[in-house]
Structure 1
């Protein structure tokens, strides 16, 4: 390579940006004495270039330099700041982690490098979908775990972005129109305790051959032995080695994350990760499915860096929304950002007491509350705890004006839906932490036996409870979110914290679609009902009053006696009526009256029914209990509801034939 030509760069934007035929490099280096740009040739180390950045190229704490006519396709880069190798936190591509689970960068500081992402991409006619929260059905997905299992039948694309593309027809058939992706940025999937890298003697052992890595989640016995015999272990067949216990960071939360770069090992061809990810997003959009990203920013991230990151993903990858951890992110800044005013944001809570600007959610509701509130109350009511009717009744109605509410009954940091009805307690021994990790507050019920069973009655009750949970979720106001695999009975064998399980425990098994076909069909039907009927998923919260003089309130609560709800301590049943005339006015929506009778008591109950307008009658539309003549008794005055079941009634013309969905 000829002598480099360089000049002072521009401090913003940070990272490596292309300016005509030159590359502008810019990095924050606080209290720095010597800052060097290191250009590393991909094939020939002799062509490496070390470029000291002069002190007068500094603006504040930002060092910037422009390299002219750099053949960037041949190079990668890092910085040396006061002798320490630093990978650019704004790097748009990271090399060195292309192979999932490889940890050589712990021994060679130059093996992890920044790359360049200047290639053009044909987005065709891709535009933001901007699906309103009221119409959204979210599917939370781990890109690797979604198709990594051989049963996914995605072949060589298993566990990659291209594997997700293969499954788009399935998502459409299910009725999904948004996916929330667990971290797809370049995180470190190797979790090693820092004290093992700093133990006595490690300074003299710099090569990978001097270490032996033990995956705690796979080899717990070897790990225990290592802990008992200290760090150094004598092996009869090998020289002294340092055994280092580690876990796989399967979920992608933690330190050493490069938030501007996509996860290379999630690509079929890691060197082509940018194009593969953009292609996946474009194909999802073409199918009418929004793409939301989950970010778990670390406390050392500045608010400016976080905003830069979100802007980058929005503009470069056409991301429709972000889930952020607001213990780090300022929700006030996000909610008032004019550029992202039509981009969805999910956070635990929002500061809605400050004055919003004209660009915020009042013109387009882009904010959403995303926490365990619905999960806790719905689970407790599902398992028939005392004093839960009032709390659950509040959850199914909740739909604030300032922000949407994301409802879910399962998430990645807890039981799957199948495990929720199969286990009373967590079974996390495979994680190598003596079952001490994961929450103890599962609000679950095993229906009589812990874990798998061959007892027919218990198996039938579990399926009934799953149907109950799905009705609670998909027929509530707010935006429903389904955890991947729940729609066909995915199980993690009672593990409620599979953060380190990169195996069949956390990968969804597509073979379950055959044995649990009934659950998947039930999910499809509920999603279809929600999309067709205007009373489910309204833009505004129900007011519990007849403010348009329609003859009954927009939404009303009932008990076993119509118009008399029982919210007492021991009550476990209540009914909800939705007035069809207060439903959505969109042309594609039907506006029938609906009555949902919830009975989480272990005894059957008869519910008196509110009177419908003249010429209409009630029809059983959905029943979560097994269908038989006894539990289908219905007249225009009352309906029989079996133990631990939900009956959904729909208004029809008196002359219509009865149709039963169960």
Structure 2
């Protein structure tokens, strides 16, 4: 499988869990490490011998011990050398910074250094989920300049902004720029935006459709009286809980919100990640912790690919849009190439603001220019285009429009054609005023002065 994916130009990153085991607490089963050498493999409370639980799963591996470090390194090396895995995402990687007693010590923990060296030798991408139940080390707090990190704050800020929370415009701007407050590119620290793994949904928590369909988790099937799973989902059901009896206007708004989330994800600096099935609005019925549901709850419903073909088309073309514009996914921050605006004039950063716009120059990368207008308010807003003349700009994305008008097949350069050989049909502006409908995003594109004409 890995070879087949490589032949298709796709890297394979493996999600690995080295912070706990299924042996759970002292009442749990004895499968391996507890029976071999309990105090070597697990963090125990001094005196009582109770398991330290920094993972929420009943126990915590003692990753500072040489025996446990060797076990982890041999496992990673095996996957890299025998299967050709390209990268690893380490679950609850803050556990790696806990010393032999369980205290956090970020001064060059041995396992992080050893994994970094292993990664360098095998050209591996290392990704940290830089937190556990008690230690939150996102950004500079995690002791490695070379690792990438799951950006949980990107997830939370984007969710809050899109659902309409007040005071989130500054947070959205940070997310779009690449989270340089967490990954600063100062001479002393020299982080890059691609080290931020940007995501809205993952295998943990709500999938995308449930994020826009449920205010509350619905985990009763898990057998814990709905007490498991996070209560802080930053979700919004668009006016009706779940699908049963949902009116058409609610269902339509959910589709728009799903497009808004993915549009922002693809426009943001950093490395985008999305959950399998989100591209055709797969649902888990509101279950945000289906760890024990090997059934229709977690299985992908491929029939939705046909019924939600318009959403799949939008996802596919937004990915192509990002790949077509190196100015979005550049390996350094946007810096002087970006200018921020409001509906008119400067951006409104106040508590009651729900909108922002930005201009991104592509000249430095021989790319076209982009002008993005974002409206998370409950009413339509009319934005003034503050760069260039209206006739220079074409509307290439509008999440408020139904498919296929929500995104064009190709870019705006006159020499470009779509996959069928037809000229693009992106709408040219006739005014410097653009109505951006409630809870929607509009993206404009124009040829930069330094952008060469593409050949067919």
TM-score normalised by L of structure 2: 0.71
Alpha-carbon offset, residue 454 of structure 1: 4.3
Instruction: Tell me the equivalent position of 2:347.
Output: 565
SS in 1 for 2:445: strand
Summarize the Cα distance change of 1:179–1:567 in structure 2 as closer, same or farther, 3 Å threshold: farther
Instruction: Tell me the equivalent position of 1:326.
Output: 93
Q: Note the residue ranges of structure 2 that are not aligned, 5 or more in a row.
A: 31-55, 97-110, 131-136, 184-189, 407-426, 450-456
In structure 1, distance between residues paired with 2:197 and 2:270: 6
Please say if residues 280 and 304 of structure 2, whose CA atoms lie closer than 8 Å, have aligned partners that are also in contact: yes
Summarize the Cα distance change of 1:620–1:492 in structure 2 as closer, same or farther, 3 Å threshold: same
Instruction: Tell me the equivalent position of 1:214.
Output: none
Instruction: Tell me the equivalent position of 2:308.
Output: 516
Please say if residues 332 and 350 of structure 1, whose CA atoms lie closer than 8 Å, have aligned partners that are also in contact: no
**Residues 428-457 of structure 1, C-alpha deviations (whole Å, 9 max, x = no match):** 000000000000000000001000044111
Alpha-carbon offset, residue 634 of structure 1: 4.4
Please say if residues 607 and 639 of structure 1, whose CA atoms lie closer than 8 Å, have aligned partners that are also in contact: yes
SS in 2 for 1:390: helix
User: Of 45, 60, 83, which residue of structure 2 is paired with 1:317?
Assistant: 83
Instruction: Tell me the equivalent position of 1:344.
Output: 125
In structure 2, distance between residues paired with 1:494 and 1:353: 33
Instruction: Tell me the equivalent position of 2:187.
Output: none
Instruction: Tell me the equivalent position of 1:625.
Output: 400
Instruction: Tell me the equivalent position of 1:449.
Output: 240
Please say if residues 604 and 643 of structure 1, whose CA atoms lie closer than 8 Å, have aligned partners that are also in contact: yes
Please say if residues 267 and 322 of structure 2, whose CA atoms lie closer than 8 Å, have aligned partners that are also in contact: yes
The correspondence of residues 121-200 of structure 1 with structure 2, limited to 5 A, is 177-183=10-16, 195=27
Alpha-carbon offset, residue 575 of structure 1: 0.3
Does residue 1:581 correspond to 2:373, yes or no?
no
Q: Note the residue ranges of structure 1 that are not aligned, 5 or more in a row.
A: 1-160, 199-252, 257-295, 362-366, 546-553, 586-590, 655-662
User: Of 359, 374, 392, which residue of structure 1 is paired with 2:172?
Assistant: 392
User: Of 417, 420, 427, which residue of structure 1 is paired with 2:218?
Assistant: 427
The correspondence of residues 42-53 of structure 1 with structure 2, limited to 5 A, is none
Number of matched pairs: 365
In structure 1, distance between residues paired with 2:339 and 2:153: 22
In structure 1, distance between residues paired with 2:139 and 2:310: 42
Summarize the Cα distance change of 1:302–1:196 in structure 2 as closer, same or farther, 3 Å threshold: closer
Summarize the Cα distance change of 1:343–1:644 in structure 2 as closer, same or farther, 3 Å threshold: same
Summarize the Cα distance change of 1:576–1:191 in structure 2 as closer, same or farther, 3 Å threshold: same
Instruction: Tell me the equivalent position of 2:376.
Output: 600
Does residue 1:439 correspond to 2:219, yes or no?
no
Summarize the Cα distance change of 1:370–1:427 in structure 2 as closer, same or farther, 3 Å threshold: same
Please say if residues 62 and 68 of structure 2, whose CA atoms lie closer than 8 Å, have aligned partners that are also in contact: no
- Tell me which structure has the larger Cα radius of gyration: 1
Summarize the Cα distance change of 1:633–1:527 in structure 2 as closer, same or farther, 3 Å threshold: closer
Q: Whose helix fraction is larger, Structure 1's or Structure 2's?
A: 2
The correspondence of residues 12-91 of structure 1 with structure 2, limited to 5 A, is none
The correspondence of residues 270-285 of structure 1 with structure 2, limited to 5 A, is none
Q: Alignment RMSD, CA only?
A: 3.5
Instruction: Tell me the equivalent position of 1:53.
Output: none
Instruction: Tell me the equivalent position of 1:224.
Output: none
Summarize the Cα distance change of 1:538–1:340 in structure 2 as closer, same or farther, 3 Å threshold: same
Q: Whose strand fraction is larger, Structure 1's or Structure 2's?
A: 1
In structure 1, distance between residues paired with 2:122 and 2:168: 37
